[in-house]
Structure 1
Amino acid sequence: MATAMQHAAGSNAAAADDVEMVEASELRRRNRPRGDGGAVAAAEEEDEAPSVERAFADQRVPSWREQLTVRAFVASFFLATMFSVIVMKLNLTVGIIPSLNVSAGLLSFFFVRIWTAAMEKVGLLRQPFTRQENTVIQTCVVAAYGISFSGGFGNYLLAMSDRIASQADEANNPQNIKNPHLGWIIGFLLLVSFIGLFGLVPLRKIMIIDYKLTYPSGTATAYLINGFHTPHGAKIAVKQVKKLGLFFVLSFFWGFFQWFYTATDTCGFNQFPSLGLQAFQNRFYFDFSPTYVGVGMICPHIVNVSVLLGGILSWGIMWPLIAKKRGIWFAANLADTSLHGMQGYRVFIAIALILGDGLYNFLKMLILTAWSLRSQHKKSSASTLPISDDEPSNGTAAISYDEERRNELFLKDQIPWYIAYGGYAAVAAVSIGTVPQIFPQLKWYQILVAYIVAPILAFCNAYGTGLTDWSLVTTYGKLAIFAFGAWTGASHGGVLAGLAACGVMMSIVSTAADLMQDFKTGYLTLASPRSMFISQVIGTAMGCVIAPCVFWLFYKAFDNIGISGSEYPAPNAAIFRSMAILGVDGFSSLPKNCLTLCYIFFVGAIVVNLIRDLVPKKVSNFIPIPMAMAIPFYIGSYFAIDMFIGTVILFVWQKLDRAKSETFAPAVASGLICGDGLWVLPQSVLALAKVKPPICMKFLSRGVNDKVDAFITTLS
């Protein structure tokens, strides 16, 4: 899957992203056909479960060319555009990106099934809609909208702009600023987004067949698609789409209705002091957002609770206490947005939590990968990597009919090694020569070093994702920020160099892990590796154009993007830039006692994660996730209230009718997210056309209202 932050299926952990896309492990569990069985044990259970492939035994598997249809890519384009808008909105608001793969698979099935049914009625249907084609569409869509996250529009790329730089006193000189422009953004993404696709292609047999990595997200998506294309599964899919469509329409028109009351940024339902004016001043309120309610229904309960606890700890306790130290810990005349004052505590304590959580999981993933590789090496008769595509799978144990069939088809359409290595070398050579033209602060030899190191990191990330479904994309990006920023130095534009290197690294490790997830999905649906690879390439190309255009629409329509307290605060952009500044300038700019608090929260994040891994699972499920807690530290708790309401709705629904909730909750949540997200398109068009809402709905305290009434009386 193209999500950038996913959860460990084995531990039911969920990492909500300061800067990382969230994969809902609970959602994956709901879509598994094995009831209480986990995807991690899928290979062991297959012999006991009914054969999937025998149900499709009478259907011919189309060739890889037949799987790549025009209608598939037409559907992919429109779905990719819609999902890119949704992901971009989430990226620019709270930075939490739920898994939309289920929605992509569901809607692709629905749209193409309608198309084929219409063609069949008029006698023009030439090729039936197969699960392989469904997989191609889903892969293409996820690859395309994944660029909306990994492209850095809500973090490293926006962090380069003067909008973000103006909020800090450091490193806001011209050599550390590069404002977004559609041309160079598309060019940069085209240069760096494809190289990760070539890096791990030769290892696909090792990852999928020899090591039998589960890739729980890819496995769950495959089961979903396989289920859609059985007669019973098609009926359920139609019901799910009806639910999705109903809540899509309701969410869209709710956004339209709210728009009339938002004449200014301080008006409307999203400024409703639902928990009181004092709570509102501390960013505690329900803002009537269907998007965040839907996100809450998709994310695991512990993620939503962790986000709410983080909001209570920061805005309910810490920030009011630190604010009383104004004039003692920091200058009394500093604005709240200054990194030398309150903003410094908000940003850098959040960074400490994020880095502590990220470092722990990075080291944990390296240890798990090394241990697993050592175990696999002992079991395997092969002693070298990579294993040739022509070799039979290792081991002599009997395999099931399904596994035998899948192995045969997976090895049938090979991707020659020279295409993979040659493609990597060619794209790397072009990037080394051209990226410094876009970012002169980043030298060609630095990019060369990045491309030498990147395949190793990409392998670690892809292997770890296969084991736990947890992708640490932005962790590698943060490492690049510090490493290349310090290498370049503050006097030579180290902030911008670090952010650009972050983009290069994130793109490589993200696309490599996503491709391997898609190979797993294709393996389980008998989709050809060639069609998977080509659809990933086409989807990535779509994303390199669609995502920048969507971002440009937001950037031009809303002139306050990236400004704290605005409708689109883009919190991760400020955090990433602050990390880049910290990487080149050190800790000297932090306000008093901020570094001490950072140390405490950094160690605390590691300790909490360690406890989560050491205690029994039934206990760890109730321990908060530090990464999730860090999100509201910077932007407030309003979205945490929305997400918590979503998780309460899901919890009650599960108690009343668990079967229906497991079947329809993802569709309802996706409808809420998609409808509200799609409303952004007409809203942006209205903003560009300078059409403003006619009404301002505002809330005042009783005392202020009396003064306003008295003032109006004097005017009359």
Structure 2
Amino acid sequence: MMLGDGLYHVLFMLIKTINSLIVKNSGKKDSSVVAPGASVLDSETADYDEIRRTEFFMKDQIPNKVALSGYVVLAIISVIVVPFIFHQLKWYHILVAYAIAPILAFCNAYGCGLTDWSLASNYGKLAIIIFSSWVGLNNGGVVAGLASCGVMMSIVSTASDLMQDFKTGYLTLSSPRSMFFAQVIGTAIGCIMSPLVFWFFYKAYPIGDPNGTYPAPYGLLYRGIALLGVEGISSFPKNCLNLVIVFFLIAFAINLIKELLQRYETKLGLHRFVPSPMCMAIPFYLGGFFGIDMCVGSLILFLWERRNKQQATDFAPAVASGLICGDSLWGVPAAILSLLNVKPPICMKFLSAAVNAKVDSFLEGI
């Protein structure tokens, strides 16, 4: 569903861009600038702050030629250097990875914009399966899959991080070029610091020891995915691939239905009730707690907008930031309480009817 939703919007943006270029070259006025049902007067009296932000953001943008040439140069460097580090990967493997990475990067940036949650690891696992299966077990497919995962995740995660930085720059009237070069400098520093930090931990602690301080459980998980990849689709759970294809198509269908309703049905506004496939998919990936949190937060915001829409528009980002910050900071006292072996006075669990009957009979016996 994540990939289907992202690819749909990739195709949608390409079609809109091509149509806009055709209209621009033909000299016709692009009617898509004004929202359906809105008059020209409405578009002219738009929010001044948004107009000012857009003008400031667009006047200092990075030229497309610079962005494209920079990506090509990095791809050439990776095609040459990475096979020397991981000889299981060939130059054409890296070339294919860089060819499909922009599509996955767009999908991740779109999902991160919707949910503020980067799913780069999800696309990295997809790269593990593809490249480990391509290289094969006898040719070092496990190492090749894990190395290609690192390449893919570095591209995909950087795209979503940069888009979040651009969003911050847009809201604060900061220069996009300043935001971009700041991330370039930070990435360059990370290329030096990350290996040093890893080397420090690798020398100081037994990394990967199940009984050690740093068991690295995700290492076993990603290696297991690579083993599944080299063994082929036959090693996957039954009907796994069928479910992937079906829900990929469902994501496309949901977006298409929403687009048709939004374009041709404007009275009832039914398109507002069509769910987002990306937001539907994330609770399956992260767990139900995320879906419940989003549902409660959306309900509070809905009621707030019904009571005072302007106040909700002005203060909702501040309230959301406070909730996110408070939830994150709670990890510090929770860790301290855990180190002190402090147990909560009340424990709550949800059990099935059968298990609950067993617990009741056990308590009665006591």
TM-score bracket, shorter-length normalisation: 0.5 to 0.7
Question: 2:343 maps to which residue?
Answer: 694
Between structures 1 and 2, the one with greater helix share: 2
Question: 1:364 maps to which residue?
Answer: 12
Secondary structure of 1:492's aligned partner: coil
Question: 1:446 maps to which residue?
Answer: 93
The CA distance in 2 between the partners of 1:600 and 1:529, in whole Å, is 40
Do 1:458 and 1:513's aligned partners in 2 also have CA atoms closer than 8 Å?
Answer: no
C-alpha spacing 1:697/1:681, structure 2 compared with 1 (3 Å)? same
Question: 1:663 maps to which residue?
Answer: 314
The CA distance in 1 between the partners of 2:291 and 2:67, in whole Å, is 47
Q: Which runs of 5+ in 1 are unaligned?
A: 1-352, 381-399, 564-572, 712-716
Q: What is the CA deviation profile of residues 199-218 of structure 1, one whole-angstrom value per residue up to 9, with x for unaligned ones?
A: xxxxxxxxxxxxxxxxxxxx
Higher relative contact order (Cα pairs below 8 Å, separated by 6+ residues): 1
The CA distance in 2 between the partners of 1:634 and 1:512, in whole Å, is 21
Q: Equivalent residues in 2 for 1:182-221 (5 A)?
A: none
1:626 partner letter: P
Do 1:354 and 1:627's aligned partners in 2 also have CA atoms closer than 8 Å?
Answer: yes
TM, length-normalised to structure 1: 0.35
The CA distance in 2 between the partners of 1:642 and 1:434, in whole Å, is 41
Whether 1:633 aligns to 2:299 is no
C-alpha spacing 1:362/1:671, structure 2 compared with 1 (3 Å)? same
Do 2:142 and 2:226's aligned partners in 1 also have CA atoms closer than 8 Å?
Answer: yes
Shift of 1:543: 6.5
Question: 2:302 maps to which residue?
Answer: 651
The CA distance in 1 between the partners of 2:74 and 2:287, in whole Å, is 45
Secondary structure of 2:182's aligned partner: helix
The CA distance in 2 between the partners of 1:602 and 1:608, in whole Å, is 10
Moved more, 620-629 or 363-372: 363-372
Question: 1:114 maps to which residue?
Answer: none
Question: 1:612 maps to which residue?
Answer: 258
Question: 1:487 maps to which residue?
Answer: 134
2:60 partner letter: F
TM, length-normalised to structure 2: 0.61
2:136 partner letter: G
Do 1:357 and 1:627's aligned partners in 2 also have CA atoms closer than 8 Å?
Answer: yes
Shift of 1:674: 0.8
Shift of 1:623: 1.4
Shift of 1:621: 1.6
Q: Equivalent residues in 2 for 1:547-562 (5 A)?
A: none
Shift of 1:699: 4.5
The CA distance in 2 between the partners of 1:528 and 1:660, in whole Å, is 29
Shift of 1:677: 0.6
C-alpha spacing 1:486/1:359, structure 2 compared with 1 (3 Å)? farther
Shift of 1:622: 0.7
The CA distance in 2 between the partners of 1:486 and 1:586, in whole Å, is 6
2:330 partner letter: W
Whether 1:603 aligns to 2:249 is yes
The CA distance in 2 between the partners of 1:594 and 1:443, in whole Å, is 29
C-alpha spacing 1:669/1:608, structure 2 compared with 1 (3 Å)? same
Question: For the aligned residues, what is the CA RMSD?
Answer: 5.3
The CA distance in 2 between the partners of 1:454 and 1:594, in whole Å, is 23
Question: 2:324 maps to which residue?
Answer: 673
Percent of residue pairs bearing the same amino acid type = 44
Question: 1:505 maps to which residue?
Answer: 152
Shift of 1:483: 4.5
Do 1:557 and 1:684's aligned partners in 2 also have CA atoms closer than 8 Å?
Answer: no
Question: 1:704 maps to which residue?
Answer: 359
C-alpha spacing 1:376/1:432, structure 2 compared with 1 (3 Å)? farther
Q: Equivalent residues in 2 for 1:393-412 (5 A)?
A: 406=56, 410=60
The CA distance in 2 between the partners of 1:431 and 1:685, in whole Å, is 46
C-alpha spacing 1:461/1:680, structure 2 compared with 1 (3 Å)? same
1:645 partner letter: V
Shift of 1:675: 1.6
Do 2:97 and 2:152's aligned partners in 1 also have CA atoms closer than 8 Å?
Answer: yes
Secondary structure of 1:442's aligned partner: coil
Shift of 1:485: 3.3
The CA distance in 1 between the partners of 2:224 and 2:6, in whole Å, is 17
- The number of residues matched between the two structures is 317
The CA distance in 2 between the partners of 1:710 and 1:459, in whole Å, is 58
Question: 1:39 maps to which residue?
Answer: none
C-alpha spacing 1:649/1:481, structure 2 compared with 1 (3 Å)? same
C-alpha spacing 1:509/1:527, structure 2 compared with 1 (3 Å)? same
Secondary structure of 2:300's aligned partner: helix
Shift of 1:607: 1.9
The CA distance in 2 between the partners of 1:422 and 1:595, in whole Å, is 36
The CA distance in 1 between the partners of 2:54 and 2:5, in whole Å, is 40
The CA distance in 1 between the partners of 2:289 and 2:170, in whole Å, is 42
1:704 partner letter: V
The CA distance in 2 between the partners of 1:681 and 1:695, in whole Å, is 16
2:316 partner letter: A
The CA distance in 2 between the partners of 1:603 and 1:530, in whole Å, is 38
Secondary structure of 2:235's aligned partner: coil
Do 1:557 and 1:685's aligned partners in 2 also have CA atoms closer than 8 Å?
Answer: no
The CA distance in 2 between the partners of 1:642 and 1:423, in whole Å, is 38
Q: Which runs of 5+ in 2 are unaligned?
A: 29-47, 202-207, 264-268, 350-355
The CA distance in 2 between the partners of 1:637 and 1:520, in whole Å, is 28
Shift of 1:705: 4.9
Question: 1:532 maps to which residue?
Answer: 179
